[in-house]
Structure 1
Amino acid sequence: MKFSLSIISIFLIFLLFSSCKTAQIPFNISDGSNFETKSFYPKFSWETTPMYYMFGDPKRILNPEEVEFIAERTDFICIEKSHGHGDLGAAELGAKHEVAAFKKVKPEMKVLFYFNSAYAWPFTSYNENFTQENINNYPELKAFLIENPETKALEERKNVFYFDVLNPDFREWWVNTVAEGVQFSGADGAFIDQMHGFSWLRHDKSQDVQKAMGTMMKALKEKLGTDKIVLGNNANAKLAQHVFPSIDANMFEHYGDKMLTKEKLLTDWEDMLKISKSGKMSIFRIGVEYDSVAIANPSYYKGKKRNERFAKLSKEKLEYYHACYLIGAQPYSYFQYGWGWQLAHGSLIDYPELQKPLGAPKGAYHRTSTTGWEFTREFEQASVWVNTETRQAKITWH
């Protein structure tokens, strides 16, 4: 009997030790509360700067070295809208290929499938007939698109049509299509872009558009199931107020220089706290194509050396934008950096600073004066100072 009890005791101690090793360590939000993580979220750590990658190459799929490079730097990625279209013929095939490639080298990697809720990009087989050449042959699909009320012509930008979220048949088709793409590709969820529903085209129905978008996103979350991630682009914006309850993560895209003002960054940090307290993730995306230096020099955007110029600029500006992220970062807040959405726009650039030991934040950021624009924050392995008015920063690594 003594021997049996001894064996049982050892077994119980082993189980307790094992559970302690595998249990998720709670992460503190900057206000002192705990982040309520979910089992289907990606692995999160403050060991180095938490990174999110989102990329696509319309011509080809990644080679093994590129997969390894990205997998070494992140556990959370999205395959962009046109990836692999040239090699494989459809973007969902590109996504499927990369999901398998990344899972092979890093099984815990969370990979998202891209789909747009406003623009009918024709890169997947699901969308291939939303083109000027084909759309009139598919009246059932044409009914999903927004018409100009006066000319009756389809609304478009550079030959890309606009989805009509007010059409309930479209919403059903869209939800089923996104779910099919996620299931087919083996992805861990979906990144949903452009969540505005073109409400500004229909001012008299703006509230209806916003509510319809919320209804559609709620249906998508239910269709995908509780173990899939829904990441919404700028789902914290006022136009997306009905969307926010159904997402698991929000991207701050910063799609123009007006999104990088000192006032907007302060609002972002406040929103990052609110999002974290609601148990949702954040992506703090910076594209240096919107930096004031690039905007003031149109030559940055032209010619074969475009990517070389932006790569150089991104390295010069990294400390400032990195500091802007760190000041507001919360548990499950991720940093994304580059100058566009294609693979060649930064995803294969080595930024050594982003691999330096960071450690958890020691508390919230400190604003040096109530009306000033200098902010500081302490991490276990770094001290951060930034002035968002002068756009200067210093990260001191310990």
Structure 2
Amino acid sequence: MKLHALVLIFACLSVHLCRAAETDADYYVSTQGPNGWSGTIATTNSQKSDGPFATIERARDVIRESRISESGDCTFIDELPARNSQSTEDRRVLAQAKQANTDHNIYFCDADSQLSKQIIKKDKQEGIDAHSLSVDPLFVDPANVDFRFQPDSPALKLGIVPFDVSKAELIKHIESPNVPIAFHFGKSQGLLTQEEAEFVATRSSFVCLEKGHATQTHGSTEAGIEAEAQQLKAFNPKMKVIFYWNAFLDYPMYNAHQVYARHPDWWLKTNKNELDRKKGRLMRYDLSSDDVRNWWTRVAKKAVAEGSCDGIFMDAFPQITSPSNRKLWGNEKFDAIQKGLRDLVQETRHSIGEDGLIVFNGIRSTPGRHIGFDFPEADAAMIEHFGHFQSASKETMLQDLLAMQQAAKSGKIVVLKCWPDFSFIDEEAMRKLLSEKRKTAQERLTFPLACFLAAAEKNCYFIYNWGYRLDNGCLEWYPEFDKPLGKPLGEMTRDGWKLSREYQH
């Protein structure tokens, strides 16, 4: 199948044109100069060999030509396995090397129709874009971010293949009638019942299945999550099922653990050459090892690219990046592991493909430390401990909300996990009847939900429970979730420590 492309030119000309008597310009125009000169100096030089242009038209042409080579001017959308986009220069390299069929493109600049014509003219002179056009691609409603093609779009006539928008459908707009909910849980005893699966699949488009899910019936986390993904998608084909795969800690309920256990050279050690175990129990991955990362990404690939899952939940980033690890591992090993973590994210992208979702955990603020959306290659992040554990101060909560807002505005997905002032590690609370825990959770929902709605953007999700196993309130549903919400009527406003925002309903 041909690989076709669509180039959209959004940039406008920002340089200004001045006459010779003016200063501080990129190009100059004067009746004294021929168009063959550089146009970069205001008056004719002493040798009479260079000076300003003779016409404004010539200056505009030069500006357009110079803009062609600037990668920031074009967004290149195609079906090549690129990262988020390719610059014009990147595409030229591919085309000239005959590595891709990229000569059926559309160039379009709403602000300056001549700019796209100049680009095509130049490319055709270089043997590129033989069949490309400078024409409006006829999107359905670009003003409202609907970039589907109209039926008579010239893009379709060129053979440009529209994107699979299933990934984009993950994003549930905050303008939707109700609060956008996500689920994150594991059920060790087995798969969800039919009733539970239908409940989840009809109330959300996003679920992360935890380690140990359905291991008692399916033998491993890998098999349990794969079976559950199939069940959920039978109820909701658009459901995005995320495979929990810790980026640092070795959990024994995976088949992959058996491989890790056979390679002692993969086990992370301290600077005293002792095994680095979390709480003396769980071994940690040495992410500076290429072999460890290759093993890790093979598991991710099998779950997503070869399985029924839609993405990977990469847990434990704050543990990996904690500055206190320098003392534990030594500076050299610490730096190598930080590089290994970034390599792991990039290698995961390669393994699961462009359509696979990378969700990392995550954004977090604690006294003395703030972690933002520091991995731009990822698609999504979780804020796991909003208003709880070490993130319960007003300062840390505000930092987390602002980080969520900033990341979401940049197009990232953010999941805010909130707690009802108690958690699964609170022994006294866990001894209470489920009815009591439900009552307490209901009473304490207003504050975290209000915080979420104050800062949420169109690609944010809300989770509210007291743990990670199914019986930790993970399927509890509250009347507030069904109340009409409507679209926000403005941005969040701040008055000291008071946050406000109005919604349609």
TM range (shorter): 0.7 to 0.9
Matches within 5 A, 1:36-47: 40-41=167-168, 42-45=170-173, 46-47=176-177
Q: What is the SS of the residue equivalent to 1:67? A: helix
Match of 1:384 in 2: none
Quote the residue 1:258 is aligned against: 390
Q: CA deviation at 1:115?
A: 0.1
1:59–1:87 contact (8 Å) kept in structure 2: yes
Cross-structure match for 1:360: 487
Q: Which secondary structure does the structure 2 equivalent of 1:378 belong to?
A: coil
Is 1:87 aligned to 2:209, yes or no?
Answer: no
Match of 1:197 in 2: 320
- Structure 1 residue 212: Cα displacement: 1.7
Q: Is the 8 A contact 2:363 2:400 kept in 1?
A: no
Give 1:288 shift: 2.8
Question: For residues 244 and 70 of structure 1, do their structure 2 counterparts lie closer, same or farther at Cα, with a shift above 3 Å needed?
Answer: same
473, 477, 480: which one pairs with 1:350? 477
Tell me what 1:54 maps to.
184
Equivalent runs, 1:294-313 vs 2, <5 Å: 299-301=428-430, 303=431, 305=432, 307-313=434-440
Q: Could you tell me how far 1:287 is from its partner in structure 2?
A: 2.5
Residue pair 1:194, 1:233 contacting (<8 A) in 2 also: yes
Q: How does 1:1-398 map to 2 (within 5 A)?
A: 25-26=144-145, 40-41=167-168, 42-45=170-173, 46-128=176-258, 135=261, 138=262, 140=263, 142-150=264-272, 152-157=274-279, 159-195=281-317, 196-197=319-320, 199=322, 200=325, 201-205=328-332, 206-235=334-363, 244-254=375-385, 256-288=388-420, 290=422, 299-301=428-430, 303=431, 305=432, 307-368=434-495, 372-381=496-505
Larger Rg: 2
Which runs of 5 or more residues in structure 1 are unaligned?
1-18, 28-36, 382-398
Contact 1:289 1:310 in 2 (8 A): no
Using a 3 Å threshold, how does the CA distance of structure 1 residues 239 and 91 change in structure 2: closer, same or farther? Answer: farther
Q: What is the CA distance between 1:377 and its match in structure 2? A: 0.6
Return the TM-score normalized by structure 2.
0.61
When structure 1 is superposed on structure 2, of 255-264 and 183-192 the one drifting more is: 255-264
Instruction: After superposition, give the CA deviation of every residue in 1:241-275 in whole Å (9 maximum; x if it has no partner).
Output: 79511100011111743213211121122212221
SS of match in other structure, 1:120? coil
Distance 1:172 1:57, change over 3 A: same
2:203 aligned partner, one-letter code: R
**Higher RCO (Cα < 8 Å, 6 or more apart):** 1
Q: Which letter does structure 1 place at the counterpart of 2:428?
A: S
Gaps of 5+ in 2: 1-138, 147-163
**Alignment partner of 1:77: what SS?**
strand
2:364, 2:400 within 8 Å by CA — same for their partners in 1?
Answer: no
Query: Matched residue pairs, number?
Result: 337
The change in CA–CA distance for 1:25 and 1:221 in structure 2 (over 3 A counts) is same
**Which amino acid in 2 is paired with 1:220?**
T
Residue type at the aligned position of 2:500: T
How far off is 1:20 after superposition?
A: 5.1
Q: 1:183 to 1:240 in 2, by over 3 A?
A: farther
> What is the RMSD of the two structures over their aligned residues, measured on CA atoms?
2.8
Residue of structure 1 in register with 2:54 after alignment: none
CA contact (8 A) 1:210 1:241 kept: no
- How far has the Cα of 1:88 moved from its partner? 0.8
1:343 Cα shift?
1.0
Q: Hey, what's the Cα distance between the residues in 2 that align with 1:367 and 1:115?
A: 38
Separation in 1 of the partners of 2:400 and 2:374? 18
Conservation of the 8 A alpha-carbon contact between 1:231 and 1:250: yes
Cα 1:168–1:309 change in 2 (3 A) is farther
Separation (CA, whole Å) in 1 of partners of 2:143 and 2:217: 40
| Distance in 2 between residues matched to 1:265 and 1:241, nearest whole Å | 13
The amino acid that maps onto 2:501 is R
Cα distance, 1:85 vs. partner? Answer: 0.4
Conserved? CA contact 1:55–1:79, under 8 Å:
yes
Structure 1 SS opposite 2:391? helix
Deviation at 1:43, TM superposition (A): 4.3
Match in the other structure for 2:51: none
Cα 1:311–1:158 shift into 2, 3 Å: farther
Between the aligned residues of both structures, percent identity stands at 28
TM-score normalised by length of structure 1: 0.77
Deviates more, 1:82-91 or 1:67-76: 67-76
What is the one-letter code of the residue matched to 1:210? Q
Output one character per residue of 1:22-59: Cα deviation in whole Å (capped at 9) or x when no partner: x99549xxxxxxxxx97513141322101110111112
> Alignment partner of 2:266: what SS?
coil
Question: How far apart are the structure 2 equivalents of 1:338 and 1:94?
Answer: 22
